């Protein structure tokens, strides 16, 4: 697995990550969503450097200019519901991308994941960007991946997460193909006994959209 740790180099990304974590800022759900979108935009920009490009001639009012444009057909696919704000950030940069959505929920235990809802285009010969704010145990991501791969095989796969625990990364390494790219905005310390990332941010879905029943 090819792992890219975006926050290793200091940038404005760290400001948005800090606000996601700050308990004095988290009670503003609109600001939380906006910061998640901003992080998605930064991740999309960094990821775009790894895509395939082709030379294209652009006509201007005064002539022509050759430039490099993205060659890959991109599909953005987020895990509901927490991934929606992150998805919006990626769409700001990949505005020509197709979009997909899939659900993943714990059932009787942290390792039992129910993938029930899926609405996505064909991935065949395309570049799939699989988006989720939190990578804790990694079980949800692997369950979603296995479900999506029943339909089509993409040309290239990029998994994009904002906060990751080492345990989740190790689980992905063991259960996903080696040629996948994993993009991590911030690597945290560990998981607690309830499988929450420490120090983490809490429940990203609840912070963005309100507590669920």
Q: Is 54 left (phi over 0), alpha (psi -120 to 50) or beta?
A: beta
Distance CA 202, CA 213 (A): 16
Distance CA 174, CA 64 (A): 49
pLDDT, residue 82, reads 83
pLDDT, residue 17, reads 96
Q: Give the CA-trace dihedral at 113, 119, 127, 104, to 10 degrees.
A: -10
Q: Which residues contact 128 (CB under 8 A, 6 or more apart)?
A: 75, 77, 148, 154, 156, 157, 158
Task: Give, in words, the CATH class of 2-209.
Answer: alpha beta
Distance CA 182, CA 175 (A): 13
Average pLDDT by stretches of 10, the chain with 213 residues:
92 95 91 94 96 95 96 93 91 94 70 76 93 93 89 91 96 94 96 92 84 74
Strands 74-80 and 98-103: parallel
Q: Is 93 exposed, middle or buried (0-12, 13-18, 19+ CB in 10 A)?
A: middle
Distance CA 153, CA 112 (A): 24
Distance CA 162, CA 170 (A): 16
pLDDT, residue 37, reads 95
pLDDT, residue 107, reads 63
């Amino acid at each position: 697995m090819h792992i890219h740790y975006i926050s290793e180099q200091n940038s404005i990304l760290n400001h948005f990550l800090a606000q996601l974590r700050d308990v004095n800022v988290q009670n503003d759900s609109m600001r939380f969503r906006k910061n998640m979108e901003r992080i998605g935009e930064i991740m999309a920009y960094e990821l775009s450097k790894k895509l395939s490009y082709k030379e294209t001639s652009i006509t201007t009012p005064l002539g022509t200019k050759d430039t490099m444009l993205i060659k890959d057909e991109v599909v953005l696919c987020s895990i509901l519901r927490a991934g929606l704000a992150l998805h919006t950030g990626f769409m700001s940069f990949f505005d020509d991308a197709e979009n997909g959505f899939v659900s993943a929920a714990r059932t009787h235990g942290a390792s039992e994941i129910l993938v029930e809802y899926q609405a996505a285009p064909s991935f065949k010969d395309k570049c799939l960007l699989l988006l989720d704010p939190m990578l804790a145990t990694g079980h949800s991501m692997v369950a979603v991946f296995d479900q999506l791969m029943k339909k089509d095989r993409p040309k290239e796969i990029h998994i994009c997460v904002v906060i990751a625990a080492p345990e989740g990364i190790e689980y992905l390494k063991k259960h996903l193909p080696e040629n996948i790219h994993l993009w991590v905005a911030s690597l945290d310390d560990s998981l607690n006994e309830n499988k929450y990332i420490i120090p983490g941010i809490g429940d990203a879905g609840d912070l963005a959209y309100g507590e669920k029943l």
